Each structure stands twice: as C-alpha cells, then as structure tokens.
C-alpha cells in the first residue's frame, strides 16, 4: 500500500506533492521544493504511530504469521475499538488506520 500524499503531508508537517514506493520497501517523496527524500517503510510506520498518538489516538498493531493487524482507539479509553484493519503487512495496516484517523478524526 502506498501512503497518501495527504496523510504523509500531515505526518511530516510538510507539503508532499508526490510519493512512490520502491521495490525495496523504501518510500520516495517529493516536497514543494521538488527535493526528493527517502524513508524506510518501518520508520514511516513508526512516525505514523507517533502522529496518531499526538492526535489523541492509540494504535495497537502486530504482525501474525499471515497478516498485519492494527486497531485504533482513543488514547484515553482502551476499549472500544474505533477502527480495525487487517492487511498483508503490519505497516500497511498502520497506514490504513492512520488514513482512517485523517478522514474521520
């Protein structure tokens, strides 16, 4: 899954104009200045979890044998779960959960 430029802009607090994922699971993104930057998928997933926490949400994520999972709840209340996502990877589930926060939070 490619992270949306809107979500990446919010997470990085920079205006991202383009974003692509490379075969080695590294994201390349371009800012308004047309400079290119690279970020490992796991570093980006961690930044997204920090962003969600700042927004007042708690992400619980894990990778099981087959899928990655992520749940969103408000940081002040552990249950109930507001959003749950199962994807191929934990990072992808985190990006989906953060997109939900951006769209609904």
Q: Can you give the pLDDT at residue 75? A: 66
Element (H, E) at 50: helix 41-54
Residue 44, pLDDT > 80, answer yes
Residue 102, pLDDT > 80, answer yes
Please, which pLDDT band fits residue 78 given cuts at 50, 70 and 90?
A: low
Average pLDDT over residues 6-19: 95
From its phi and psi, is residue 25 left (phi > 0), alpha (psi between -120 and 50) or beta? Answer: left
Q: How far apart are the C-alpha atoms of 41 and 62, rounded to whole Å?
A: 15
pTM value is 0.86
CA distances from residue 53 to 26, 49, 57, 72, 99 in whole angstroms, order as listed: 23, 6, 5, 10, 14
CA angle 97, 82, 11 (to 5 degrees): 35
Average pLDDT over residues 53-79: 77
């Amino acid at each position: 899954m490619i992270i949306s430029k809107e979500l990446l802009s919010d997470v990085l607090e920079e205006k991202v104009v383009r974003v692509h994922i490379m075969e080695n699971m590294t994201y390349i993104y371009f800012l308004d200045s047309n400079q290119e930057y690279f970020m490992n998928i796991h570093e980006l997933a961690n930044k997204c979890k920090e962003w969600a926490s700042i927004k007042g949400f708690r992400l619980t994520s894990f990778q099981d044998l087959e899928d990655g999972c992520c749940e969103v709840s408000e940081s002040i209340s552990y249950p109930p779960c507001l959003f749950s996502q199962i994807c191929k990877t934990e990072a992808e589930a985190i990006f989906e959960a953060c997109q939900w926060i951006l769209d609904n939070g």
